[in-house]
Amino acid sequence: MDLRSKPRLGVMGSSTCSPRITELAVEVGRQIGRAGAILVCGGRGGVMEAAARGAKEAGGITIGILPGESDSEANPYIDIPIVTGMGQARNAINILTSQAVIAVAGAYGTLSEIALARVAGIPVIALESWSPTDPEGRIAPGITIATGPEEAVRLALLATRRASEF
């Protein structure tokens, strides 16, 4: 199995979330696992844990880019913990490891990841998340709004295919 050829989809969101957002994140992860893609996340709780759980339930592979200095902070659904000791600065690693990002709800940390992704030219799919606009009030280029988990993953996979064609 050539892991390098599998799409790497980042799932970004808050470390705490409501039951409804948890279910959205689980389904995003499940769809990523079913697609044979690798899930990349911050490796801890909330949206990250829910998405990783969904991916594992579907037989997927999960990577957690951790902010602290120990792999013990990884949630139980992370296959590959990456220990950075970088705190929130590890968001850059989350983004640059991902070929497309799905933002599920989220707070300011998620907003920073959306910004980092767009600066790096990485497509962002927003699912009930931030949708930054330009000064004219238009959704910023490179951000697509998804109506549900299946569409979010489909759009992210499509974005990774487009990027690999160039």
Is residue 138's pLDDT more than 90?
Answer: no
Q: What is the mean pLDDT of residues 120-131?
A: 94
Q: What is the mean pLDDT of residues 47-65?
A: 98
Please tell me the total number of residues recorded for the chain in this structure: 166
For residue 17, the model assigns a pLDDT of 94
Closest C-alpha to 103, from 72, 81, 129, 64: 129
Write b or e for each residue in 98-122: b if 16 or more Cβ atoms lie within 10 A of its Cβ, otherwise e.
bbbbbbbbbeebbebbbbbbbeeeb
pTM listed for this prediction: 0.94
Q: What is the mean pLDDT of residues 20-29?
A: 98
Is residue 164's pLDDT more than 80?
Answer: no
Q: Which domain holds residue 157?
A: 3-164
For residue 165, the model assigns a pLDDT of 53
Q: CATH no. for residue 125? A: 3.40.50.450
For residue 134, the model assigns a pLDDT of 76
Task: Count structural domains, the chain.
Answer: 1
Q: What is the mean pLDDT of residues 3-7?
A: 90
**Percentage of residues in the chain with pLDDT exceeding 90?**
86
Is residue 76's pLDDT more than 70?
Answer: yes
Is residue 53's pLDDT more than 50?
Answer: yes
Contact at 8 Å (CB) between 144 and 123? yes
* Gap between the Cα atoms of 16 and 37, Å rounded: 24
Confidence category of residue 166, pLDDT binned at 50, 70, 90 = very low
Please give the mean pLDDT across all residues of the chain. Answer: 93
Q: What is the mean pLDDT of residues 31-51?
A: 97
Is residue 163's pLDDT more than 70?
Answer: no
Contact at 8 Å (CB) between 60 and 49? no
For residue 66, the model assigns a pLDDT of 97
For residue 1, the model assigns a pLDDT of 58
